[in-house]
Structure 1
Amino acid sequence: MKHTNRSQLMTGLKYLAGALPLSFIGPVVMFSSFKNQEHFWFIPVLIFSLLAMAAAIFLMFKGINTVMKSMFDKD
């Protein structure tokens, strides 16, 4: 019977743990940037928030993919 690859599972959970703060930081920073549209730093802060949200989506995808591989792949 196939058992879960624990090291690969832990790697996937680390990706998901990295995505968790980014999924909150990105929208909060974006909201803050839209409240201060007349400020000089509007565009750089907006770009940072978009990058944080994109990184959160990427890390979530990679983490879920890695967790699924650790449970269901046959080696």
Structure 2
Amino acid sequence: MPTNKKILLKGVQFLSGALPLLFIGPVVINSSFKNKENPLYPFILGLGILFCAAAIFCMFRGINLIMKSLFDGNK
């Protein structure tokens, strides 16, 4: 069963892009909760939630591409 290396590399790139987002998102959310009196509180909180959602999407897409490259082969 051959592996499509192009798709595998793209999946690994998505996973490597998700790694920093997994750390940045919760840090931004935590910092926004510490500064609730700041007028930019809703914007910073939304930005942190967006980072977390992007991390989840990148992880899903990366794992999906890796599974596709392993099991679909060169179709």
Residue 16 (structure 1) aligned with residue 42 (structure 2) = no
5+ unaligned residues in a row in structure 1: which ranges? none
TM-score for both structures, normalised by structure 1? 0.95
* Equivalence for 1:5: 4
- For residues 10-60 of structure 1, what are the alpha-carbon distances to aligned partners after superposition, in whole Å with 9 as ceiling and x for unaligned? 000000011010011000000000000000111100000000000000000
| In the alignment, structure 1 residue 39 sits paired with structure 2 residue 52 | no
**Separation of aligned partners in 1, 2:31 and 2:40:** 11
Q: Deviation of residue 65 (structure 1)?
A: 0.3
TM-score, normalising length: structure 2: 0.95
What CA distance in whole angstroms lies between the structure 2 residues aligned with 1:15 and 1:40?
A: 34
Gap regions ≥5 residues in structure 2: none
Superposed CA RMSD: 0.7
Runs of 4+ in 1 over 2 A off after TM superposition: none
Cα drift, residue 62 of structure 1: 0.3
* Residue matched to 1:70: 69
Q: How many residues align?
A: 74
SS of alignment partner, residue 38 of structure 2:
coil
* Identity %, equivalent residues: 53
